[in-house]
Amino acid sequence: MADKEKEKEKDNKSLMDSIKLILGKEDRINDQLENGRGLERYTKDLLLLMSLVKDYYQGNYRNIPYKTISAAVVGLLYVINPIDLIPDFIPFIGQVDDALVLKFCLKLIKKDLLKYQTWKDKQTASEDKDSKPTNKKLEDKDKSTEKEGKDEKSKAEDNQADSKKSS
């Protein structure tokens, strides 16, 4: 039993090391997407995959099977690795294998990636809701500003009345 736990711990450390490597090479993936290297049709999914890996690494999202995060990591590692079945420097053909591996990984994890997308959308909606003042907040702010204005006006009138009395 202890051997299985040690094996699992070792696998998890290896996975986290791989994720760390991927996050360090994120600019390479962005470069591949920007320079039209055969992955354009997967841009949205690839960016979502990178986001998933980041959130997993940071501990923000862990509601994902180990096999799914492993498949995502393997797919991303293959894409960023310049040495693969068909070297990337060969025009067009060099990117075909990257696209095929990515397509295969995306197909394997489609359901979990959709769950992550739903979670991510909820997080974004929640952040937007917290950062934008609601109409109620705006109304309250307007009322308090209006009240402050009235308070200032009455103070000014009181001061005028006092100065007239003393003269």
Alpha-carbon gap, residue 16 to 72, rounded angstroms: 12
**DSSP 8-state code for residue 167:** -
Tell me the HSE value of 144 on the side-chain side, using a 13 A CA sphere. Answer: 6
Q: Does the predicted TM-score (pTM) go above 0.75? A: no
Here the tokens at position 78 are 């293959």
Check residue 113 and give its pLDDT: 94
At 46-71, the pLDDT tens digits run 889 999 999 999 999 999 999 999 99
Q: What is the mean pLDDT of each run of 10 residues along the chain (167 residues)?
A: 77 85 78 63 85 94 94 87 69 75 91 95 85 54 53 58 54
